Amino acid sequence: MSTLRRVSSFLTVLSVFALTLTALAQQNQPQIGIAPVTLNAAPYTFDTAELHKIRVVIVARGLPHPFSLAFLPSGDALVTERGARLRIVRNATGAGGAQPALDPQPVAGIPATPGFRGGGLQEVALHPGFAGNRFVYFTYNKAGAVGANPNQRQSAVTLARGRFDGKALTGVEDLFTGDWSNGASGSRIAFGPNGHVFMTTGAPFGEQAQDSNTVYGKVLRLLDDGKVPADNPFAGKAGVRPEIYSLGHRDQLGLAIHGPSGAVIAAEHGPNGGDEVNVILPGRNYGWPKFTFGRSYEGPRMGDSPVAAGIEPPLVIWIPSIAPTGLTFYTGDRLAAWKGNLFVGSARRGEVPRTGGLERVVMNDKLEELRRETLLTELHQRIRDVRQGPDGLLYVLTDEDDGALLRIEPAP
Amino acid sequence: MSTLRRVSSFLTVLSVFALTLTALAQQNQPQIGIAPVTLNAAPYTFDTAELHKIRVVIVARGLPHPFSLAFLPSGDALVTERGARLRIVRNATGAGGAQPALDPQPVAGIPATPGFRGGGLQEVALHPGFAGNRFVYFTYNKAGAVGANPNQRQSAVTLARGRFDGKALTGVEDLFTGDWSNGASGSRIAFGPNGHVFMTTGAPFGEQAQDSNTVYGKVLRLLDDGKVPADNPFAGKAGVRPEIYSLGHRDQLGLAIHGPSGAVIAAEHGPNGGDEVNVILPGRNYGWPKFTFGRSYEGPRMGDSPVAAGIEPPLVIWIPSIAPTGLTFYTGDRLAAWKGNLFVGSARRGEVPRTGGLERVVMNDKLEELRRETLLTELHQRIRDVRQGPDGLLYVLTDEDDGALLRIEPAP
């Protein structure tokens, strides 16, 4: 047995052990969380700061754990069900008075993945040249060999694309496949101003985030064909994966481009406290797991310090945790008082399920935080994604068994 | 003019200038905040984590901006109206089926203070030997000379006590009066395990917090007659006020003793983000204004770093701000799933008025944080104090024009 294989076997055993410990720790947790809350069919009206009254309308429901939302120019919306199917909400914006409707037929062409935790479909996004090339990009956790633990499968984060014909993706191809790993987490993509694909990868095992020889716990930067751009910060450097754009990340379940500056902005889950939004800069280290504002679930603080020289500080911090999900900068006029604000979905607060909401962060023109507001907590839904529609309104996905697509409108 | 008086005049001019700048900065803020929400007369029922259903009952209303709550052994409750009167809610616990009622007659004996921002009554607390000595302690900002700005008055934080005869305080005497200052803020007191009075003082001007020659921006420790305990950490040290127990604090509007350990626990307002709960230890420096997790209201981070050697890190942090107010450790059996939890009132979130709530922090036996939950946000009230009643239930004060005393009960 080679040294490498011995190390690899040892790491596999260690990983299974770590997963077992995690499972045991979870068993010792008290039963927490509030009962499921079913959304009303009628619109909700809420008072808010600055904009004041908003109306929240259910556009579609019956989406099991939707993860990502991408609007087609037509006003239809593509929605991924996490780990499963790609769906279409027809007339999601209701343009011209057309009634929105969830197409019962999923979009064909998404690779099938055996059911395993964290496996399957994650993100969906349109290529910037979609109007001409009809390319829809998506990420998924590809299934590999079954590991030592029969409930566990190796997986690899994968970027893929296909051409959308209105019903199906054709010519689907994997553009980039990450390392095989014993843990899977969510990935997001966003197209930068020069058409590069930025892609987040989680670090199911913390040490991966500082390991420059794996693509996990990173933000990657790829060409739109999945190849490595020649000007990537570590391109050509020995012992560093050339796809890496930034390192030291935990789970990053939100990614967006700030239009005015072109800045790449990612939302990252801290552990117990210490959730972050980061400005992703080339070659920088964001510190996980050595530097974090969070603490372990057993109580003690984690890491050496929340800050350190050479470690990028977060742009926005949440303590306690909000489990940040999709994010977007609002650029529309329909919700004018919110123009330029950052919106971040939240799946839960302080470890309590069904206490999610929508975070609004007001920033100055240097992207420094001025103030915040939490919206939609009264709905008691986990919120998984937030996007701006082609109609200039905001749309959110609720991450529930009976997940919904919601629209936020100004109310009279 | 002596050098001291020149410096004093200069500081007065500087303070007025700073206040004017603050007023101008506030004028440039957009109009934020949601409309007033009037509480229903009927009880509210909420689902919560761990305990699940709770019922929230209005015990009394019509209390303008109540600040502090102290239960008498009888089940009556003393309530201060901030800057104004001391009131009694008769039968606040409703023991024996008696209806709670706000006594229309305020408690006589509280020193009158001319109306000025931050002046007048703040905290109320019973002496540990109240059953025998009937001593009620309170703090207030005593009015001094009118300063250079006619709208501004000098004030001094003051600890006082009187004997309560059921209707009035008699023999009221000031036990300790702080330095005359051009800015006033709230103070809290708590009696430690040895009967010492711990007292928080705000630092309206940040630099006071690191100035060992003023009592502001500190936690003080006094004997129950207002004198300085001989074993205070700085007693007998030249150039340091002997009342000082800890320094480097901003506004601390919550103070409680953790029963099992005797630890002194204070809630402290950070600036824009960076609210804290601290374990107050003798002679320690808590860093304000040099070290903070918060940022300025104009956006940039404040201070040198959130952490530093020799600076006590917070026990609990909130980012964004919640404007933490009164706090208490729950020790009762009626809300058994919450036993040992820390409860902290919150006056607002992210600079948005009327988005207050009640924070619940679950800790392990080392006082390390395990998880959190935010309660009562649906009420849209600023919450100013939280205390455990003699009936083992939790009571909170809402800081509104029509402020209320609320009781939290388990719901079937």
Pick from A317, A351, A377: CB nearest B377 = A377
- Return the percentage of chain B with pLDDT > 90, whole number: 78
Are the beta carbons of A317 and B318 separated by less than 8 Å?
A: no
Indicate which of B26, B28, B29, B32 best probes the interface with A, i.e. most A CBs within 10 Å of its own CB. Answer: B32
Q: Which residue of A has its CA nearest to B53?
A: A34
Are the beta carbons of A368 and B295 separated by less than 8 Å?
A: yes
Give the pLDDT confidence of B72-83 residue by residue, as tens digits: 999 999 999 999
**Which residues neighbour A7 within 8 Å (Cβ) at sequence distance 6 or greater?**
none
Q: What is the ipTM of this complex?
A: 0.89
The whole-angstrom separation of Cα B200 and Cα B264 is 11
Q: How much is the pLDDT for A353?
A: 84
**Which residues neighbour B335 within 8 Å (Cβ) at sequence distance 6 or greater?**
B51, B54, B392, B393, B394, B408, B410
Average pLDDT (A207-231) is 97
Q: How far is A361 from chain B (nearest CA, A)?
A: 9
pLDDT at B157 over 90: yes
Q: Which residue of A has its CA nearest to B363?
A: A299
| Position A30 confidence tier, pLDDT thresholds 50, 70, 90 | low
The whole-angstrom separation of Cα A250 and Cα B179 is 49
pLDDT at A19 over 60: no
A201 vs A116, A155, A288, A326, CA distance in Å? 18, 12, 13, 14
Q: How far is A315 from chain B (nearest CA, A)?
A: 10
Are the beta carbons of A31 and B50 separated by less than 8 Å?
A: yes
Are the beta carbons of B32 and A50 separated by less than 8 Å?
A: yes
Q: What is the DSSP letter of B73?
A: T
The whole-angstrom separation of Cα B215 and Cα B47 is 44
Residue tagged 């990657």 (tokens): A220
pLDDT at A266 over 50: yes
Q: Which residue of A has its CA nearest to B361?
A: A350
Q: How much is the pLDDT for A15?
A: 41
**Which residues neighbour B338 within 8 Å (Cβ) at sequence distance 6 or greater?**
B50, B51, B330, B360, B394
Contact A233, A245 (CB under 8 A): yes
A&B contacts, CB < 8 Å: 127
**Tokens found for residue B79:** 């309530």
Q: How much is the pLDDT for B240?
A: 98
The whole-angstrom separation of Cα B174 and Cα B412 is 47
Contact B125, B190 (CB under 8 A): yes
Task: Give the phi and the psi of residue B264 in degrees, each rounded to 5.
Answer: -95, 125
Contacts of B295 in chain A (CB under 8 A): 368-369
Q: How far is B39 from chain A (nearest CA, A)?
A: 15
Per DSSP, the three-state class of A26 is helix
Give the pLDDT confidence of B374-388 residue by residue, as tens digits: 999 999 999 999 999
Q: How much is the pLDDT for A150?
A: 66
Give the pLDDT confidence of A325-379 residue by residue, as tens digits: 999 999 999 999 999 999 999 999 887 888 999 999 999 999 999 999 999 999 9
Pick from B48, B301, B350: CB nearest A373 = B350
Q: How much is the pLDDT for B30?
A: 65
Of residues A151, A149, A127, A217, the one with CA closest to residue A179:
A217
Are the beta carbons of A35 and B47 separated by less than 8 Å?
A: yes
**Percentages helix, strand, coil for chain A, rounded to the nearest 5?**
10, 40, 45
Q: How much is the pLDDT for B113?
A: 86
Task: Give A57's strand partners.
Answer: A407
pLDDT at B284 over 90: yes
Would you state the torsion angle of the CA atoms of residues B333, B336, B342, B348, taken in this order, to the nearest 10 degrees? -110
Contacts of A366 in chain B (CB under 8 A): 299
Q: Which residue of B has its CA nearest to A31?
A: B50
Indicate which of B54, B322, B373, B376 best probes the interface with A, i.e. most A CBs within 10 Å of its own CB. Answer: B373
Are the beta carbons of B352 and A371 separated by less than 8 Å?
A: yes
| Number of alpha carbons in the 13 Å side-chain half-sphere of residue B385 | 31
**Which residues neighbour A362 within 8 Å (Cβ) at sequence distance 6 or greater?**
A340, A341, A369, A370, A371, A372
The mean of the pLDDT values for chain B is 91
Contacts of B50 in chain A (CB under 8 A): 30-32
Give the pLDDT confidence of B320-366 residue by residue, as tens digits: 999 999 999 999 999 999 999 999 999 998 878 889 999 999 999 99
Task: Give A104's strand partners.
Answer: none
pLDDT at B1 over 70: no
Average pLDDT (B133-143) is 97
**Tokens found for residue B310:** 């020799």
Parallel, antiparallel, or unpaired for β B101-102 and B86-90?
antiparallel
Are the beta carbons of B49 and A35 separated by less than 8 Å?
A: no
**Which residues neighbour B158 within 8 Å (Cβ) at sequence distance 6 or greater?**
B139, B140, B141, B142, B174, B176, B177, B178
SS (H, E, C) A276-302: EEEEECCCCECCCCCECCCECCCCCEC
Contacts of A272 in chain B (CB under 8 A): 369-371
Are the beta carbons of B32 and A52 separated by less than 8 Å?
A: no
Contacts of B341 in chain A (CB under 8 A): none
A367-377: burial string, b at 16+ Cβ within 10 Å, e else: bbbbbbbbbbb
Are the beta carbons of A350 and B374 separated by less than 8 Å?
A: yes
Average pLDDT (A295-316) is 90
Q: Is the peptide bond before B320 cis (omega within 30 degrees of 0)?
A: yes
Query: Residue B106 burial (CB < 10 Å; 0-12/13-18/19+)?
Result: middle
Q: How far is B296 from chain A (nearest CA, A)?
A: 8
Are the beta carbons of A366 and B33 separated by less than 8 Å?
A: no
The whole-angstrom separation of Cα A159 and Cα A197 is 10
pTM, rounded to two decimals: 0.91
Give the pLDDT confidence of B246-266 residue by residue, as tens digits: 999 999 999 999 999 999 999
The whole-angstrom separation of Cα B277 and Cα B297 is 21
Q: How far is A206 from chain B (nearest CA, A)?
A: 20
Q: How far is B373 from chain A (nearest CA, A)?
A: 5
The mean of the pLDDT values for chain A is 91
Query: Residue B19 burial (CB < 10 Å; 0-12/13-18/19+)?
Result: middle
Q: Which residue of A has its CA nearest to B274?
A: A319
Pick from B52, B301, B368: CB nearest A299 = B368
**Which residues neighbour A400 within 8 Å (Cβ) at sequence distance 6 or greater?**
A36, A65, A381, A382
Are the beta carbons of A273 and B364 separated by less than 8 Å?
A: no
Which carries the bigger pLDDT value, residue B268 or residue A184?
B268
Contact A218, A244 (CB under 8 A): yes
Average pLDDT (A250-272) is 96
Q: Which ranges in A28-126 belong to alpha helices (H)?
A: none
